[in-house]
Amino acid sequence: GQNIDQPTEMTATEGAIVQINCTYQTSGFNGLFWYQQHAGEAPTFLSYNVLDGLEEKGRFSSFLSRSKGYSYLLLKELQMKDSASYLCAVRASGTYKYIFGTGTRLKVLA
């Protein structure tokens, strides 16, 4: 079966660093995506990993370990505007469908 897990909620302080984990068990794998979604809006693309290792993009970094079925999104220098839901999605091989995780609601406190 397909299973993608993330913590439901996290809270962090402005200026801090937060790591959002994602574990997955899928029948096939063709890349892992992270999206940010503000309430009432569509998801916006943050990062993409297909090979093991760390991808860095400004204040956001994403890590992947395919052997462990594990990824994390690292947000540095947190800002209030980072308060949002963060969605992990695995792209299935063959069908190329995206399977979304449960999503993590992040609250950034002043």
Alpha carbon 64 to its chain centroid, in Å, reads 10
| CA 108 – CA 91 distance, rounded (Å) | 29
Give the 3-state secondary structure of residue 73: strand
Site for other proteins in 32-51 (CB under 8 A): 40-44
Site string (47-76) toward other proteins, x via CB under 8 A = ------------------------------
Task: Give the shortest CB-22-to-other proteins separation in angstroms.
Answer: 11
| CA 91 – CA 39 distance, rounded (Å) | 24
Residues in contact with other proteins by CB under 8 A are 30, 40-44, 87, 89, 91, 95-103, 105
